[in-house]
Amino acid sequence: MKYLKFLVTVLTATLILSCGEKPKPAFNPEERVEDILSQMTVEEKVALTHAQSKFSSAGVPRLGIPEVWCTDGPHGIRAEVLWDEWDQAGWTSDSCTAFPALTALAASWDPSLAELYGISIGEEARYRKKDVLLGPGVNIYRTPLNGRNFEYMGEDPYLASAMVVPYVKGVQSNNVAACVKHYALNNQETARFFTDVSVDDRTLYEIYLPAFKAAVQEGGAWAIMGSYNLYKGQWNCHNQYLLNDILKGEWGFDGVVISDWGGVHDTDQAITNGLDMEFGSWTNGLTMGKTNAYDSYFLAQPYLERIRSGKVGTTELDDKARRILRLIFRTSLNPEHKTGKFTSPEHYAAARKIGAEGIVLLKNEGGLLPIKDARKVLVVGENAVKMMTVGGGSSSLKAQHEISPLDGIREALPGVEVVYERGYVGDASGAYNGVTTGQDLSEKRSAGQLIADAVKAAQDADYVIFIGGLNKSDFQDAEGNDRKEYGLPYDQDAVIEALAAANPKLVVVNISGNAVAMPWVDKVPAIVQDWYLGSEAGHSLADVLTGVVNPSGKLPFTFPVALEDGPVKTLAQYPGIPGDRKWESPFSSVPILEEEYTEGIYVGYRWYDAKQVKPLFPFGHGLSYTTFEYGEPSVSKAVTADGKVTVRVPVTNTGAVAGAEVVQVYVSDPEASVDRPVKELKGFCKVWLEPGETKTVSVNLTRESLSFFDAASHSWKAEPGHFDVLVGSSSADIRGSVGFELKE
């Protein structure tokens, strides 16, 4: 008993001692940042602000501060390059998972998939010890000629905002900064270095800024990348209005502004106009690959010289260094240590799921799809076999594997004779920055013979699947140049017309990141909009074609019948007209183009609604292998000054197959005192339904949903009065409406 009492006494004392110990102070990154900042020299602070290699900037070894390492995204982790060159470093362990292009993610209309995407790619970046992922991209789809549209999230600011926030959060959950790009008004590749955009403030705030704002204020993005073009006469990588006034001022952004590679042009503006980190500059006539050019960067020796001579102070420098240190403590020095993972089964499963749910079934007459009871399937088209992960610019990847559409279809149809014919020759090459596909796509047959062979094979096939579209070659879906035409390249229309005449069971699969002309649309019973789907491309497509996955993707941008149907019509609108100023670069002297966004807020479906022009396929369009019936929508109450209204609509799966429907909620303000679009997307919900099942979908609207930007007062306004809520399956397929009053 005495021993027992002694033991209880000891244990109690130990507990009291333990409870009485002072807890360790919580990690406070802001205190650490200020502490480190106070110990740094001016030279060390300046060294933080500019690159030391193609993709890294210096740390402070003396104080234990590591370097910052960036990697290209946003669809996968770029292969390692040499310190000073773009050529491959020759690693054997840098073959990544290639995820679907962001157009495919946006087409899923599923924020949970955006989060999965962000988590997965963030894990790959952290495993490779990268601190900043250069993505995602959220520039608005203004013209289908933009070669880089495939990297972005479509034409609508609400959709892009809803999809970018979970992506950013997912990436940053791995202690990797998402660097949202390209801020802002970067809507073309033609003359991207020397185009000065003129746009009114209302259009800027309503169309081109919302996704960036959402990434910052809702997603908590730690980095933003400036764009190459100019706005208000200043390059956007050091733009007072965009970076200081809006981003860091109005939005309270506390992260870093990173230049696009080669996007900095002036030391004084780089110091004062909001830039924090400079990468990829070409200074003093140095070539792109010049070794040890980094000391000549605009924020390197020229910056130090200005400080030492007293021309500038160190207030801006301290702000830049503080932001960079904050970035480092959020990433590599984050005490919540993450290790990540690379090319894991989970990542491939994520890529396959995202790809399949982003595929859009555009047309399906007679229920031709999914494939059933087939003995022979003919697959035609170069895009059925051509690798798409290599090429396209900075998003080019060295993928561990890439399943082609042809291989995916063959794997999904065991016991079925799957025959392949080339049909056309597009681009037989397959290399970018030292990464090669290893494919031999050479062809000896003439164009006429290729079509004849395909037609012959089509005559006794149960299904003919043409897989074509665009590719990642220059002047197609690729960085650096825009498309030259809206139609399909390589005379693919002739191949499709011939196949349609040979066999009525024709499926056309268009692989692209852009809308394309389809003059044969009425002759083809089934059309599928595929995208650049990365490592699991063939599996994702085959899942949809065979019905393993019921398609649920919806278009994130409008398909016009013809290019001239859209809002961008004049040279002044695109690509711009040469002005009086010149861009003096180490390579050339060219006039700066002046470009006017005179279409204003009428981008995408807003334009087609206003002009009553019927598109080929409208924004938000996408079919299913089942059917959905919408009930009458209702609203909970009128919106008050601090309230919200909830829109509810019952949706029933009236078909025989389980599937998902994207219920889209548009708002119309018929009594506005200003010119407003016929309707604007302000909410959506993707709902899964079993056959015969009914669910009530709820979408919340707030005063923000009803507001327009008033340039005169520089504020958002929601005018009291009547509003209509339009609920539909696409922007052109409205199933019901309900009105309500906004009170004072």
**Alpha helices (H) in 582-712, listed in sequence order:** 605-611, 703-706
Q: How far is 539 from 533, CA to CA, in rounded Å?
A: 10
pTM value? 0.94
Q: Considering the domain 352-549, what is its CATH architecture?
A: 3-Layer(aba) Sandwich (3.40)
Of the candidates 670, 521, 556, 677, the residue with the CA atom closest to the CA atom of residue 608: 677
Annotate 224-263 with three-state secondary structure.
EEECCCEECCEEHHHCHHHHHHHHHHHCCCCCEEECCCCC
Residue 485, judged by CB atoms within 10 A of its CB (0-12, 13-18, 19+), counts as exposed
* 147 HSE (CA, 13 A, CB side): 23
Structure tokens at 687: 């709902």
Measured CA distances, 183 to 214, 470, 518 (Å):
13, 26, 33
Of the candidates 518, 25, 57, the residue with the CA atom closest to the CA atom of residue 258: 57
- Confirm if 195 and 181 have CB atoms less than 8 A apart: no
Structure tokens at 390: 């290599």
- CATH class label, 625-742: mainly beta
How confident is the model at residue 683, as a pLDDT?
98
Measured CA distances, 148 to 181, 394, 484, 600, 727 (Å):
12, 10, 13, 21, 31
Of the candidates 658, 680, 661, the residue with the CA atom closest to the CA atom of residue 669: 680
Residue type at position 81? V
Q: How far is 205 from 212, CA to CA, in rounded Å?
A: 10
Q: What does residue 301 show for φ and ψ, rounded to 5 degrees?
A: -55, -40
Is 41-72+109-330 in CATH node 3.20.20.300? yes
Q: How far is 345 from 389, CA to CA, in rounded Å?
A: 19
By DSSP bridging, strand 230-231 and strand 234-235 are: antiparallel
Provide the greatest CA pair distance for the chain: 103
Q: How far is 577 from 646, CA to CA, in rounded Å?
A: 47
Residue 736 carries which DSSP code?
Answer: E
Annotate 695-722 with three-state secondary structure.
EEEEEEEEHHHHCEEECCCCEEECCCEE
Query: What residue spans in the chain does CATH classification 3.20.20.300 cover?
Result: 41-72+109-330
How confident is the model at residue 291, as a pLDDT?
55
Q: How far is 174 from 178, CA to CA, in rounded Å?
A: 10
113-114-119 Cα angle (round to 5): 95
Q: How far is 561 from 673, CA to CA, in rounded Å?
A: 33
Positions of the chain with pLDDT under 50: 1-19, 284-285, 289
Of the candidates 705, 718, 722, the residue with the CA atom closest to the CA atom of residue 644: 705
Query: What residue spans in the chain does CATH classification 3.40.50.1700 cover?
Result: 352-549
Q: How far is 156 from 558, CA to CA, in rounded Å?
A: 10
Angle between helices 537-545 and 345-358 (to 10 degrees): 50
Query: What residue spans in the chain does CATH classification 2.60.40.10 cover?
Result: 625-742
Task: Give catalytic residue positions.
Answer: 260
How confident is the model at residue 22, as a pLDDT?
61
- Confirm if 286 and 586 have CB atoms less than 8 A apart: yes
